[in-house]
Structure 1
Amino acid sequence: MQVRHLLLIAILAFTTACSSKHVVDENLSETELYQQAQADLDTRNYGSAIAKLKALESRYPFGRYAEQAQLELIYAYYKNVEPEAAKSSADRFIRLHPQHPSVDYAYYLKGLASFDQDRGLVARFVPLDMTKRDPGAARDSYNEFAQLTSRFPNSRYAPDAKQRMIYLRNLLAAYEVHVGQYYLTRNAYVAAANRGRYVVENFQETPAVGDGLALMVEAYQRLTLDDLAATSLETLKLNYPDHPSITTGQFVPRERGDEDRSWLAKATLGLIETDTPLPPGETRASQDVIRQYEDAEQQIPRELMGEEPQTKKRSWFSYLTFGLFD
Structure 2
Amino acid sequence: LINFNDDLGLFSAITGQDLSERDQKAAKESFETFKELVARFPDSKYSVDARQRMLYTVGSLAQNEVHIARYYYTRGAYLAAVNRAQTAISDYRNVPALEEALYIMYKSYDALGMVQLRDDTKRILDKTYPDSQFLVKGFKVKQDPWWKVW
Instruction: State the TM-score, normalizing by the size of structure 1.
Output: 0.41
- 1:236 equivalent to 2:125? Answer yes
How many residue pairs get aligned? The number is 143
Q: Which letter maps to 1:291?
A: W
Q: Quote how far apart the aligned CAs of 1:186 are.
A: 1.1
Q: Which secondary structure does the structure 2 equivalent of 1:291 belong to?
A: coil
- 1:291 aligns to what? 147
Say which one has the larger Rg. Answer: 1
Match of 2:10 among 106, 118, 122: 122
Q: Quick one: structure 1 residues 162 and 291, their matched pair in 2 at CA, closer, same or farther if it must change by over 3 Å? A: same
Which of the numbers 57, 67, 76 marks the counterpart of 1:168?
A: 57
Given candidates 94, 101, 107, the residue that maps to 1:205 is 94
Letter in 1 for 2:72: Y
Q: Which structure 2 segments of 5+ residues have no match? A: none
Shift of residue 158, structure 1, vs aligned partner: 0.8
- d(CA) in 2 for partners of 1:174 and 1:141? 16
CA-based RMSD of the aligned residues comes to 2.4
Q: CA deviation at 1:128?
A: 2.8
- The answer on whether the counterparts of 1:131 and 1:175 sit within 8 Å (CA) in structure 2 is yes
**Aligned residues of 2:103 and 2:135 also touching (Cα < 8 A):** no
Whichever residue aligns with residue 10 of structure 2, its letter is V
C-alpha displacement at 1:122, in angstroms? Answer: 3.0
Q: CA deviation at 1:119?
A: 2.2
Higher RCO by CA contacts (8 Å cutoff, separation 6 or greater): 2
Counterpart residue number, 2:83: 194
Superposed, which structure 2 residues align to 1:177-326 within 5 Å? 177-247=66-136, 254=139, 291=147
The percentage of aligned residue pairs carrying the same residue is: 34
Alignment partner of 1:131 is 2:23 = no
Structure 2 CA distance, aligned partners of 1:135 and 1:160?
20
Aligned partner letter, 2:87 = Y
CA shift digits 1:269-321 (9 cap, x unpaired): xxxxxxxxxxxxxxxxxxx8x928xxxxxxxxxxxxxxxxxxxxxxxxxxxxx
What are the Cα deviations for residues 246-283 of structure 1, in whole angstroms up to 9, with x where unaligned? 23xxxx7649xxxxxxxxxxxxxxxxxxxxxxxxxxxx
Letter in 2 for 1:237: D
Native 8 Å contact 1:218 1:253 kept in 2: no
Deviation at 1:182, TM superposition (A): 0.1
Where is the helix percentage greater, Structure 1 or Structure 2?
2
Q: Provide closer, same or farther for how the CA distance between residues 230 and 157 of structure 1 changes in structure 2, counting only shifts above 3 A.
A: same
The CA distance in 2 between the partners of 1:253 and 1:200, in whole Å, is 19
Are the counterparts in 1 of residues 8 and 19 from structure 2 also a CA contact under 8 Å? no
Is 1:115–1:141's contact at 8 Å kept on the other side of the alignment?
yes
Q: Which blocks of at least 5 consecutive residues in structure 1 are unaligned?
A: 1-111, 256-287, 293-326
Q: Partner amino acid for 2:147?
A: R
Q: SS in structure 2 opposite 1:195?
A: helix
Question: How much does 1:124 deviate?
Answer: 8.0
Give the TM-score, by structure 2 length: 0.84
Write the mapping of 1:82-161 to structure 2, written as runs, cut at 5 A: 112-116=1-5, 119=7, 121-122=9-10, 126=14, 127-161=16-50
Task: Give me the whole-angstrom Cα distance separating, in 1, the residues matched to 2:63 and 2:75.
Answer: 19
Change (3 A) 1:120 1:253: closer
CA distance in 2 between partners of 1:132 and 1:121 (Å): 14
